[in-house]
Structure 1
């Protein structure tokens, strides 16, 4: 789980990975015979039983740096990825994290990412926390966002990522009702583990090879353990 790929002097939430670090992390995967793919590609491979060596790569929020800094690295390795973007952001930049006004992808840039083979998923309409929302607002954030992004990207939007990683039963039901194939969370309680609440491993700028190996192992073990009780 990535967010921005950029050098930012002020990053209190540690959401940025520098272009150099991101390139090193992708090289680390490639040298171990691992291949980055979109989440929808990963799930299809799991269903076929041939997901060995595949790693789902995701970017939340829809920062412009994904197009300009991350995409060239992904291309170089022949990797895929999923970008979860907003359909109706409140401003052209990030306004939900104080002091981090980073530019977001415009509609034509989202289309460019899609044309390059990056899966476009929804991160809601406005990056609003979904837990506790009234039904009509929840539908607008989830279902209306899917329809709008489908028109922008030129294809059916299959994936959703919960803003702030916050979800409850009503949010998962709204995602299912909207027709999404899957949804990504951050951490998922074992009773909620499903294709509508996929856990992910955060990757930051401090993560080198040792940290990536540890996170990958812990994520795999944790998912298997939860899956036994889901």
Structure 2
């Protein structure tokens, strides 16, 4: 019987941090209700702050090697990931990451390549990168992964739907870009045991959620959004945030605690008093 690893979340507490971004620059509509857009200036500041404070970037090979026990990494290590394959990744994020020498993983909804966002009315005009653009990204240090077929929420899926968003999505990305993806990220960060098993059986090496750590096929990530001040961004790297975030993926009370902590840091920053210590 196929068994999907269900690791205790506390090893993730000491693992390399995995940062999750979405869009860059500014929205076409001028509206960004979910704060998905991070400006180029703030993105550069985020990256510079990480490197200046001793954080070291890792690629997916090193990240997987750490979990396997084959690779030793500095205590302050991070893997940078980006969801949705928005056109701004090509125009802004990839060149900035390349200038810093930071590798990354881009998760692509492969059935939407060259199209537009269809899963949100608020972002419906936003463009997805084309096949030609995606094919060029690995030369910049950006690995391609799969983000489902069309950004469908992956819970309570039947067998045919699950295959479409795992096996077929991987084949489509390979067909149009030549890349056979080994990493997967759940749209909206949501998953269940059937979904995790389906991703594993589809042949992926690892998959990522958000805060809901469930082993190799639902690794936790830290969401970085356009509403984060630099103080809030640094706070998200702290052990305090990691503990609350990992616990928050399993209990609704803790999820609210995480949100309250981040909001308190933002309010303190606005007031000019927020100085949480970053380790």
Q: Above 0.5 in TM-score?
A: yes
Relative distance call for 1:225 and 1:102 in structure 2 (3 A) is closer
What are the ranges of 5 or more consecutive residues in structure 1 without an aligned counterpart? none
- Map residues 30-45 of structure 1 onto 2, 5 A cutoff: 30-45=51-66
Give the match for residue 48 of structure 1. 70
Does 1:115 pair with 2:178? no
- Map residues 97-116 of structure 1 onto 2, 5 A cutoff: 97-100=120-123, 101-116=125-140
Does the 8 A contact of 2:113 with 2:130 survive in 1?
no
Relative distance call for 1:90 and 1:212 in structure 2 (3 A) is closer
Q: Deviations over 1:13-36 (max 9, x none)?
A: 111111111111011111122233
**Separation in 2, partners of 1:95, 1:145:** 16
Give the match for residue 151 of structure 1. 175
2:230 to 206, 209, 215: 209
Does 1:6 pair with 2:25? yes
Give the match for residue 72 of structure 1. 95
**Separation in 1, partners of 2:244, 2:70:** 22
Does the 8 A contact of 1:40 with 1:158 survive in 2?
no
2:215 to 194, 200, 218: 194
2:166 to 136, 142, 146: 142
SS in 2 for 1:206: coil
Name which of structure 1's ranges 201-210 and 38-47 shifts more when overlaid on structure 2: 38-47
Does the 8 A contact of 1:30 with 1:77 survive in 2?
no
Q: CA deviation at 1:121?
A: 0.5
Does the 8 A contact of 1:39 with 1:58 survive in 2?
no
Give the match for residue 170 of structure 1. 194
**Separation in 2, partners of 1:99, 1:221:** 32
Give the match for residue 117 of structure 2. 94
**Paired residue total:** 223
Q: CA deviation at 1:139?
A: 0.5
Q: Deviations over 1:146-204 (max 9, x none)?
A: 1221333433311000011110011001100001011100121xxx6201011111111
Give the match for residue 151 of structure 2. 127
Q: Deviations over 1:22-57 (max 9, x none)?
A: 111011111122233344432224433422232111
**Separation in 2, partners of 1:74, 1:91:** 22
Does 1:181 pair with 2:202? no
Does 1:18 pair with 2:39? yes
**Separation in 1, partners of 2:177, 2:241:** 31
Name which of structure 1's ranges 81-90 and 168-177 shifts more when overlaid on structure 2: 81-90
**Separation in 1, partners of 2:113, 2:171:** 18
